[in-house]
Structure 1
Amino acid sequence: MDADALPTPQTRPGRDGLAALLAQPGAAIVGLDFDGTLAPIVADPEQARAHPDAVPALAALAPKVASVAVITGRPAGVAVRYGGFAGVPGLDHLTVLGHYGAERWDAVTGTVTAPAPHPGVAAVRAELPGVLDRAGAWPGTWIEEKGRAVAVHTRRAADPEAAFEALRAPLADLAARHGLIVEPGRMVLELRPPGVDKGAALGEFVRKTGAESVLYAGDDLGDLPAFAAVEQLRSDGVPGLLVCSGSTEVTELAERADVVVDGPAGVVALLRSLAAEIDHRSSAAS
């Protein structure tokens, strides 16, 4: 995508969503996943960092819209650190909804608010090593502690897809015994409380802010609920634009998206283009 030009959405609802955002940016919400959307996917999630141009692009766009919300399965504080979001001029309109909305960090206060964690997470965490041992030897598979959830990664295994498929059933059984669910992603299986997803977080955020249009960008299966939330908002009369941060590992989002961009670099280019177009229209109107 040309850094100076906005893409044309491939669907009519997407074109309507983009038009509504540009017509009244001050009433628009921009929702963004973190890993794979603002930050490139890496083998070790602890090494993930936002694309180097992401914060400048967000700082250029955020003051022009009602709010920018980063919605992630990570703890909110971790996403803030890995994103480099704290203390950045221009990011006062940024909110990070961590653990799929269970945690909230606001740039204005710089603090995280959250309810008590689900007790099933601690129980699963204690049993998980034994479950993995009984499921077979998969060297390279490892456990990520996420506070309000726990994830099993297979990307480092010799055969990541085989390990992923072999672990799905035993992890689903473990999760069910403790009142949790398994959310599959890009070579990762996350065990977390039910009823908490990016769609619920995005829908609640839009309702509370009274947004009149919404953009959501994501890259993975965990972003499908957010896509569904935007589709529901559209049917309720709130225009929306769906953006896929494209990859070869997940195709479901690309098939439902209005715009597909080339990974985090493409998302950053889109954010810059939105900010530039809003500025252009504002200058032309004055």
Structure 2
Amino acid sequence: MSSLPTPATRAGQDGLDALLAQPGTALIGLDFDGTLAPIVADPELARAHPDALPALAGLAPKVAAVAVITGRPAEVAVRNGGFADVPGLEHLVVLGHYGAERWDARTGKVTAPEPHPGVAAVRAELPGLLDGSGTWVEEKGRAVAVHTRRAADPQAAFDALREPLTDLATRHGLIVEPGRMVLELRPPGMDKGVALSEFAREIDAGSVLYAGDDLGDLPAYSAVDTLRTTGTPGLLVCSGSDEVTELRERADVVVDGPEGVVELLRALADRIG
């Protein structure tokens, strides 16, 4: 049986205690890339850790819901995660595009509003802006992400592009979300904190665990902090990364990447029984 880590904060311990005491009201929120799936140079090749599905299937029936919250399109996250038609995952939802899209395992369907027109506009201008930079563009439907991990000097390329991409996004009513060697241009008002808060309210969650690894997960951390102040205990988990320290500093529990997240999910399922 896997052992549970001891949270570094009192608030984190309260969140874990509440989850274990009443698991049927608990919400487990999880990022995808870097949390359930290892980071890879080509995001199209990202796949969930091989032990993630069994761990999720073991835990999901014991809690109120598991929500995978990602900047990817919901259908892409479902495909890359292998979440469809898995026994035990009936309580799982994927909130794609930071909650703008939703896939529910019970129905297998995606619901979503119309995309923001600014995304198509910046997509058309990006090739000229990025020419010769050694970057790679990921099409995300309702957003566009510019990756610098393949450039000769990834950090220098990231730093050089941040201002011009911000200017481009602003001209078309979008914002830039920085991450681990990636700059994502997307509509405002879409973030993981809003998605997590709204879903927690929808299911009347009695406790919330959120695990992430990147800057885009900070709004979800803040959402858990807010829920704590209003009486909903929460546990913040960092899927450890040397590239992003902000989450480590705020987390109640730090685990060793997706493998550590899988071990935590197993330990929770074992402890709940």
How many corresponding residue pairs?
273
Superposed displacement of residue 184, structure 1: 0.2
Superposed displacement of residue 17, structure 1: 0.1
Residue 16 of structure 2 corresponds to residue 11 of structure 1: no
SS of corresponding position for 2:36: coil
The whole-number CA distance in structure 1 between the counterparts of 2:217 and 2:241 is 13
CA offsets 1:85-127 (integer angstroms, 9 cap, x no match): 0000000000000000000000000000000000100001011
- Letter in structure 2 aligned against 1:168: R
Which residue does 1:260 correspond to in 2? 254
Which residue does 1:283 correspond to in 2? none
The whole-number CA distance in structure 1 between the counterparts of 2:234 and 2:64 is 14
The whole-number CA distance in structure 2 between the counterparts of 1:123 and 1:97 is 25
Q: Which of the numbers 149, 153, 163 marks the counterpart of 2:143?
A: 149
Q: Which of the numbers 19, 30, 34 marks the counterpart of 1:32?
A: 30
TM-score, normalised to structure 1, is 0.95
Q: Which runs of 4+ in 1 moved over 6 A?
A: none
SS of corresponding position for 2:184: strand
The whole-number CA distance in structure 1 between the counterparts of 2:5 and 2:35 is 17
Structure 1 gaps, min length 5: 280-286
Residue 230 of structure 2 corresponds to residue 236 of structure 1: yes
The whole-number CA distance in structure 2 between the counterparts of 1:114 and 1:130 is 30
Which residue does 1:41 correspond to in 2? 39
SS of corresponding position for 1:168: helix
The whole-number CA distance in structure 2 between the counterparts of 1:52 and 1:132 is 35
Q: How does 1:121-136 map to 2 (within 5 A)?
A: 121-133=119-131
The whole-number CA distance in structure 1 between the counterparts of 2:48 and 2:86 is 14
Q: How does 1:169-248 map to 2 (within 5 A)?
A: 169-248=163-242
SS of corresponding position for 1:138: coil
The whole-number CA distance in structure 2 between the counterparts of 1:41 and 1:93 is 26
Superposed displacement of residue 20, structure 1: 0.1
The whole-number CA distance in structure 1 between the counterparts of 2:138 and 2:232 is 37
- Letter in structure 2 aligned against 1:83: G
Structure 2 gaps, min length 5: none
SS of corresponding position for 1:56: helix
- Letter in structure 2 aligned against 1:60: G
The whole-number CA distance in structure 1 between the counterparts of 2:23 and 2:224 is 17
Superposed displacement of residue 132, structure 1: 1.8
Q: Which of the numbers 18, 21, 24 marks the counterpart of 1:23?
A: 21
Residue 141 of structure 2 corresponds to residue 138 of structure 1: no
Superposed displacement of residue 142, structure 1: 1.0
SS of corresponding position for 1:156: coil
The whole-number CA distance in structure 2 between the counterparts of 1:72 and 1:34 is 6
The whole-number CA distance in structure 2 between the counterparts of 1:259 and 1:6 is 10
The whole-number CA distance in structure 1 between the counterparts of 2:97 and 2:136 is 20
Aligned Cα root-mean-square deviation (Å): 0.6
Q: How does 1:24-173 map to 2 (within 5 A)?
A: 24-133=22-131, 137-139=132-134, 141-173=135-167
The whole-number CA distance in structure 2 between the counterparts of 1:145 and 1:46 is 10
Superposed displacement of residue 19, structure 1: 0.1
The whole-number CA distance in structure 2 between the counterparts of 1:146 and 1:24 is 37
The whole-number CA distance in structure 2 between the counterparts of 1:242 and 1:94 is 19
